[in-house]
Amino acid sequence: MSHPRNPHSLLTPAMRQVLQAIAKAGRPPIAMLSAQQAKAAYAAGAGVLEPDPQKMARDETLHIPTRDGAQLTAKLWAQHPKPQMPVLLYFHGGGFTVGSPQTHEALCKHLAHLAQCAVLSLDYRLAPEHTFPTAHLDAFDALQWLVQHAPELGLDPTRMAIGGDSAGGTLTAATAIAARDAGIDLKLQLMFYPGCSPEHMASADTFEKGFLLEKTSIDYFYKHYLPNPDDRHDPRFSPLLVEDVSGVAPAWLGLAECDPLVDEGVAYADHLRAQGVSVDLEIYKGVVHSFIQMGRAIPEALQAHADAARALRHAFGEHA
Q: Which of 121, 141, 165, 166 is catalytic?
A: 166
Q: What is the pLDDT of residues 176-200, one digit of tens each?
A: 999 999 999 999 999 999 999 999 9
Please give the order of strands across the beta sheet that includes 85-91. 58-65, 71-78, 118-122, 85-91, 155-165, 188-192, 251-258, 279-288
Q: What is the pLDDT of residues 227-281, one digit of tens each?
A: 999 999 999 999 999 999 999 999 999 999 999 999 999 999 999 999 999 999 9
The angle subtended at Cα 147 by Cα 143 and Cα 153, nearest 5°, is: 110
Give percent of the chain above pLDDT 90: 93
The angle subtended at Cα 143 by Cα 262 and Cα 191, nearest 5°, is: 15
Q: Which of 259, 263, 271, 305 is catalytic?
A: 259
Tell me, what's the pLDDT at 4? 67
2 is catalytic: no
Instruction: For strands 251-258 and 188-192, give the pairing.
Output: parallel
Q: Which of 110, 136, 289, 305 is catalytic?
A: 289
Query: Whole-prediction pTM value?
Result: 0.97
Instruction: Kindly report the number of other CB atoms within 10 A of residue 47's CB atom.
Output: 18
Local confidence band at 318 (pLDDT 50, 70, 90 cut-offs) = confident
282-308 burial, b at 16+ Cβ within 10 Å, e below that, comes to: ebbebbbbbbbbbbebbebbbbbbebb
Nearest to 120 by CA among 76, 173, 158: 76
pLDDT higher than threshold 60 for residue 30: yes
**What is the mean predicted confidence (pLDDT) over 144-168?**
98
Tell me, what's the pLDDT at 5? 74
**What is the mean predicted confidence (pLDDT) over 125-130?**
98
pLDDT higher than threshold 70 for residue 19: yes
The 3-state DSSP class for residue 157 equals strand
Could you tell me which residues come within 8 angstroms of residue 198 by beta carbon, excluding any fewer than 6 positions away? 232, 233, 237, 238, 240, 241
d(CA 79, CA 59): 9
Nearest to 88 by CA among 57, 59, 54, 122: 122
246 is catalytic: no
166 is catalytic: yes
d(CA 240, CA 223): 20
pLDDT higher than threshold 70 for residue 320: no
Instruction: For strands 58-65 and 85-91, give the pairing.
Output: unpaired
Q: What is the pLDDT of residues 68-109, one digit of tens each?
A: 999 999 999 999 888 899 999 999 999 999 999 999 999 999
